[in-house]
Amino acid sequence: MPRQITAFSNPLVKRIRGLRDKRHRREEGLFLAEGLRILTEAREAGILPQFVFYAADSAQHPLVVALVEATEAHGGEAIETDADILSKLSGKDNPGSVVGVYAEFLTPLDSLDRTRADLWLVAERLRDPGNLGTILRTADAVGAGGLILIEECVDPFSVEAVRASMGALFTVPIARAAWGEFLPWLRSGPGQLVALSLDTEVDYQAARYAAPTFLLTGNEAQGLPAAYAAECDLRVKMPMLGKADSLNAAVATAVMAYEVLNQRR
C-alpha cells in the first residue's frame, strides 16, 4: 500500500535528493530517473525501481497504476507525494508525474556477447551527458549490441544523461573499461574497430564495414589520442563542406551508425 510523503524534511526525500550528486550516487549505488515515459520503458524492459514517487493527481493514470503495482510486487516501495516534492527530487521546476530510484547497473566487459549484434558503439572520454544520452538513443535505434565507455567518461547515471537517453539507458547494455582492458578483449575475437577521425582521407561512405563493427568516438574537444587511433582497423571521416571543422560527437556517431546499418541492409 503506497504511503504518503509531503514534507521536505522527510529523511527519505533528503536521501533521494542527494542522488543528483555523483558522490552520493556512487555511495548509494542508486540513481534517479524521471518521467512516465522513461519509467514505463524501464518497466517494459523488466527493470523496476526501488522507490517510485508519483503525484497524487496522477494516481489513477493506467501507466502509473501499472508502475506502482509492478514496483510493489517486486519488493519496491511506492510513495504518493505532490509536485513540490517531485520538483525537489528532480531539480526541475516542472517535474514529470513520477520519479523512480533505481539500482545502478553496468555490464562487465567480459560478459558482453559480441555475436548478438553486428554493430557496437564505443565512446572515449565523453564529457557531455547530453551527448552520452543521445548516443544511447542512437544505439537503441540502430539495434546496437551496447555502448562501451572508455576511460573516464561522464556518468551515464547522472540525471542529465538519464533524461537525454529517453529510456535507452534501460534498453542498451553499458560497459565501462580502460583502453588497456578494452583492446585485448576486442582482439580476442572478431570485431572491426572503426574510428571517427579527421586525420584520414577515407570517406565514411567509401569504406566497407565488417561485422561486428565497433564504432569508436573520441572526446568532444580533443578527439581520439593518436595512440588509440593507430590501433584501429580503419579511420574514416565525413565531408565538411562549411566552415565548421567537425560535427558534434553524438551527431557524428549517429551518422556513422546509420551508414553501417544501411550497408547491412
Report pLDDT for 48.
Answer: 97
Task: Provide the grid cell at 264.
Answer: 547491412
Going by DSSP bridges, is the β-strand pair 30-34/98-103 parallel, antiparallel, or unpaired? antiparallel
The whole-chain average pLDDT of the chain stands at 93
Tell me the pLDDT band of 1, cut-offs 50, 70 and 90.
low
Residue by residue, DSSP assigns 174-233 as: EEEE-HHHHHHHHHTS--EEEEE-SS---BTTTS--PSSEEEEE-BTTTBS-HHHHHTSS
Q: What pLDDT sits at residue 135?
A: 98
List of domains in the chain: 3-103 (3.30.1330.30), 109-264 (3.40.1280.10)
Indicate the pTM of the whole model: 0.92
Q: What is the pLDDT of residue 198?
A: 82
Most confident of 17-21, 58-62, 90-94, 139-143: 139-143
Segment 220-233 mean pLDDT: 93
Give 103's strand partners: 30
Torsions phi, psi for 135 (to 5 deg): -65, -35
> What pLDDT is stored for residue 6 in this prediction?
83
pLDDT tens figures, 80-116: 999 899 998 988 777 678 999 999 999 999 999 999 9
Q: What are phi and psi of 207, to 5 degrees?
A: -75, 160
Nearest Cα to Cα of residue 88 among 3, 5, 1: 5
